[in-house]
Amino acid sequence: MAGGNKYSLSYSGTTNVKDRFGQIISMTQIQPGELVDIVYSAHSKVLLEVSVSEETWTNTGIIKYSIDKARKIIQIGSEKYKYTKDLVMISQGKVIEMIDLNSKDVLTMKGRGKTVNSIIVEKGHGYVRLENESAFIDGFVEVGQSVILPVTENMLITVGEGDYNLRITNHGIGGTKPVTVLRDEEVVVDVGDLYDGTEMTGDIAFTITPSNAKLYINGEEKNYGELINLSYGVHQILIEADGYETLSRYLNVGQPLASIEIMLEKKEDTAQSSSSSSSSTSSQKTSTSSSSSSSSSRGSSSSTQRRPIPMTSSIVRNSSTSSSKSSSSSSSSSSSSSSSSTSSSSTYENISSDVIQSSTMNKIFIDGPEGAEVYMDGNYKGIAPTNFKKEIGSHEIILRQEGYRTKSYTVEIENEEGDVTFSFSPLIRQEE
C-alpha cells in the first residue's frame, strides 16, 4: 500500500471485484503484482471492493533495462522511471528481492506516471552445463542469439528459458546441438562428439569506409581487398583509421560465405572542427548549416566510449547500442552511424563499453551456503566458503549443489577499497 504499510486482508463472495473498465470479474483474474484500488473495513480487515487501477500503465516483454540502485532509477529503453521502497517484485506468484532478478529474465513492469510500482518475471532463466568440453577450452560457446562466452573448465551458463541451438567451436572445429532450457533447472549438454578434428572455415568479404582503414583480426593485420578465410567460431576484429573512432568487435563466423559492410565514425574533435569550419563559412547564408553541424557532433559522440578490450573479456549483444546493422533476419541491431551486412550464421557482436576494473589485492569472499559450488559470470570459482579476485561492476553469482535447486544472484561490486563478503541463503532442496 501507499506509504509502505502492509496489511493482510481477507475477502469473501460478497467482495466486489472489478477490472479497470468497471466490469465485474473474479478475484482469480487479478494476478500478483497487479495495481489495484481497494476499500476495506478497518475493523474487520475484510475487503469490500477491489478494482484494477485506471491511472496505471503496463510494459510487457521487457528485455532491455537497467537499474540504478543508488539513485533508485529504472531505465526501460530510453525512458527513465523512479522506484521506492514500496516496489514489489514477483516471480511465479512469489515475492522476490531485486538481487533475484537476472539479466536473462523477461519482465513486465507496472506503474503510475513515472514510477514503477511492481515488476513481474514473465520468463525466467535456467542453466546449461557442458560435459566433455575439454577439447573446446579457450574456444567459444554460443547459446541462441544472446549468449556467447569463452569456454572454461566446469562452466555453468545462465540462459533465458526457451529452445535454442547451442554452438561450440575451437579453432574452427565444433558443431551445433539443440537445447531446451527450463526455468530454474539445469540441462547438461555433452559436446564431446562435436570435436571431430575437421576444421570448418568461411570466406568473409569486408567493405570498409574509409578505404584507407586498417583491419586487424585476432591482432593480425589483414588485406580486406580480397576475401578473408577464417575458421568457424569467434574472432576479434579491430578497425582503425586516422581521424576516426577505432572499432573493436567480435565476429562469429558460421557459414561458408558472408559479407560485412562497416562505416567508421569520425572522431568527435574532428567532427566538431569540421562542423565549426562549415558553420563559419556558411552561417551568413542559412541557419541550417549550423544546425546540421550540431547534429553531426552529437551523432559521433555516441561512439567515444567504445574501446577495444581483450579477447578474454565478456561479450555482450546489445542491439540498441551497436554500431552495426545486420541484414540477417535472426540478428539485427540499429545504428545511425555505421553498418555491417552479414548472413544469419555470421554475427557481428557489440563489445560492452563498460570495461570491468579489477583489484590485484582485494577479494570477493563467499561464506555460504557452505558446500555449494560457486560460479561468477559462468566461471567456476570453488566450493563455499571460498574467495577470488575482486572485480568491479555487475556480476552474476551462481550457487549449485547436488540435490538442491541452483540459484543465481545479481550483485554490484562497488569501486571501493577493501574486500567484499557475501553469505547467501541456504539452497532449497529439490523435490523428489
Of the candidates 123, 145, 173, which is a domain's last residue? 123
Does 135 lie in the same domain as 190? yes
Quote the number of domains for the chain.
Answer: 5
pTM to 2 decimals? 0.68
Neighbours of 243 (CB within 10 A): 13
What sign for the dihedral angle of Cα 145, 149, 154, 159?
Answer: negative
Q: How far apart are CA 318 and CA 330, in angstroms?
A: 14
Q: In this structure, is residue 296 part of a structural domain?
A: no
CATH number, position 223 = 2.60.40.10
Does 238 lie in the same domain as 216? yes
> pLDDT digit of tens for each residue in the chain (432 aa)?
556 667 788 998 899 999 989 999 999 999 999 999 999 988 888 999 999 998 899 999 999 899 998 899 999 989 999 999 999 999 999 999 999 999 999 999 999 999 999 999 999 999 999 999 999 998 999 999 889 899 999 999 999 999 999 999 998 899 999 999 999 999 999 999 998 878 888 999 999 999 999 999 999 999 999 999 998 888 899 999 999 999 998 888 888 899 999 999 998 765 455 444 444 433 333 333 333 333 333 233 333 333 332 322 223 333 333 333 333 333 333 333 333 333 334 444 433 333 345 555 899 999 999 999 999 999 999 999 999 999 999 999 999 999 999 999 999 998 888 999 999 999 999 875
User: Helix, strand, or coil here: 283?
Assistant: coil
CATH number, position 66 = 2.40.50
Q: Which cell is 406 given?
A: 541452483
Q: Which cell is 348 given?
A: 557481428
pLDDT of residue 377: 94
CATH number, position 129 = 2.60.40.1120
Does 61 lie in the same domain as 50? no
Does 237 lie in the same domain as 222? yes
How many residues comprise the chain? 432
Q: In this structure, is residue 327 part of a structural domain?
A: no
What sign for the dihedral angle of Cα 262, 268, 273, 276?
Answer: positive
Of the candidates 72, 95, 123, which is a domain's last residue? 123
Does 216 lie in the same domain as 257? yes
pLDDT of residue 183: 94
Candidates 183, 208, 220; CA nearest to 348 is 208
pLDDT of residue 223: 95
pLDDT of residue 198: 80
pLDDT of residue 426: 95
547467501: which residue's cell? 424
Of the candidates 244, 262, 280, which is a domain's last residue? 262
| Domain coverage including residue 144 | 125-194
pLDDT of residue 380: 95
pLDDT of residue 159: 96
pLDDT of residue 30: 92
Q: In this structure, is residue 338 part of a structural domain?
A: no
Q: In this structure, is residue 430 part of a structural domain?
A: no
Does 48 lie in the same domain as 70? no
pLDDT of residue 360: 54
Q: In this structure, is residue 247 part of a structural domain?
A: yes
Amino acid letter, residue 327 = S
Q: Which cell is 395 given?
A: 556480476
Q: In this structure, is residue 188 part of a structural domain?
A: yes
Half-sphere exposure of 238 (CA within 13 A, CB side): 13
Does 80 lie in the same domain as 68? yes
pLDDT of residue 276: 47
Q: In this structure, is residue 334 part of a structural domain?
A: no
Candidates 117, 244, 102; CA nearest to 184 is 102
Element (H, E) at 229: strand 228-231
Which phi and psi (to 5°) does residue 29 adopt?
Answer: -85, -10
Q: In this structure, is residue 288 part of a structural domain?
A: no
